[in-house]
Amino acid sequence: MLLAALPLSAWGDKGHRLVCTLALEGLPPGPRAWYAGREAEVEEHASDPDHWRQDRKEGPRHYFDMEPYGGPGHLPRTLGEARARIGGDYYRKGVVPWIIQDRWRDLVEAFRSGDGARVALATSILSHYVADAHVPLHTTENHDGQLTDQRGIHSRWETGLVERFIRPGDLEAMPAEADPAFPDHTWDWLRASHALVPRLLEDDRKADRTTPRGKGGKRRTQAYWAIFWAKQGPVVKQQLQLAGRHLGDAILNAWIEAGKPSQVEFMKP
């Protein structure tokens, strides 16, 4: 029952890997050097946090429900504020913006340590939560369409569309940008994701209304997928690209925060 209450794995392995690839491609040479030869390692661990969900505290780290706070215009900025506003249940409503901040600080520390393997792993873990924050259904209580009779929409959107239609060449890496106020932008990403929810749900309903169901009345047909992709494909691509760009920003800013360490310095005896 508890597991059923949690959102499913976001983006699937393919999506999480793509976000890492895009981010690393968009880095300038300084931080990029830290990942030379470690690209596969970073991608390999990008889905690790989805395998930690036996720990009851892990699930809420992947999402942030906005409705309990009164919507995107009224989000709390700190965990203390979240607790004060909605009480002891606040954790179960999701904590992804704060987890991104914590894992970002881990990356800063990793750069300071000079340990390339630690930088790669910290990047993988951070990448996961950044990518999840770009999934619209990770920002709403109606995370699996359970409130609008659209159960399964969560995986139809983030895994079904990605696995069926996304080709790596469809996505373009965008250059990372330096920004001293970096960690605060997490709330902007989440608000932008949340704004995509109504249309996403509507497009699923339309695709369902206009196509027959397959076996057992549950399985969607090719016709459903074609219509849903035609409507939501551009949104899926946009969110994957934005996640890659924002992860790139996060890496670049962590490297700057750590004092722009050069890997060569650490390699000297």
Q: Which residues bind Zn ion (CB under 5 A)?
A: 10, 50, 62, 132
Question: How many CB atoms are closer than 10 A to CB 268?
Answer: 5
Nearer to Zn ion, 98 or 255 (CB): 98
Residue by residue, what is the 3-state secondary structure of 50-117?
HHHCCCCCCHHHHCCCCHHHCCHHHCCCCHHHHHHHHHHHHHHHCCHHHHHHHHHHHHHHHHHHCCHH
Nearer to Zn ion, 132 or 249 (CB): 132
Smallest distance, Zn ion to C-beta of residue 99, A? 10
Nearer to Zn ion, 159 or 241 (CB): 159
Smallest distance, Zn ion to C-beta of residue 142, A? 18
Nearer to Zn ion, 141 or 202 (CB): 141
**N- to C-terminal Cα separation, the chain:** 55
Tokens representing 4?
């059923």
Helix (H, G, I), strand (E, B) or coil at 12: helix
Do the Cβ atoms of 248 and 23 come closer than 8 Å?
yes
Tokens representing 196?
């995509």
By beta-carbon distance, which residue lies closest to Zn ion?
Answer: 62
d(CA 62, CA 56): 12
Tokens representing 48?
């690790």
Smallest distance, Zn ion to C-beta of residue 138, A? 8
Nearer to Zn ion, 34 or 104 (CB): 104
Smallest distance, Zn ion to C-beta of residue 32, A? 26
Task: Report CA-CA distances (Å) from 105 to 27, 100, 129, 250.
Answer: 18, 9, 13, 10
Smallest distance, Zn ion to C-beta of residue 178, A? 27
Smallest distance, Zn ion to C-beta of residue 128, A? 6
Q: What's the burial of 178, exposed, middle or buried (CB within 10 Å: 0-12/13-18/19+)?
A: exposed
d(CA 52, CA 72): 28
Nearer to Zn ion, 46 or 227 (CB): 46
Closest listed residue to residue 90, CA positions, set 76, 74, 104, 105: 76
Smallest distance, Zn ion to C-beta of residue 72, A? 21
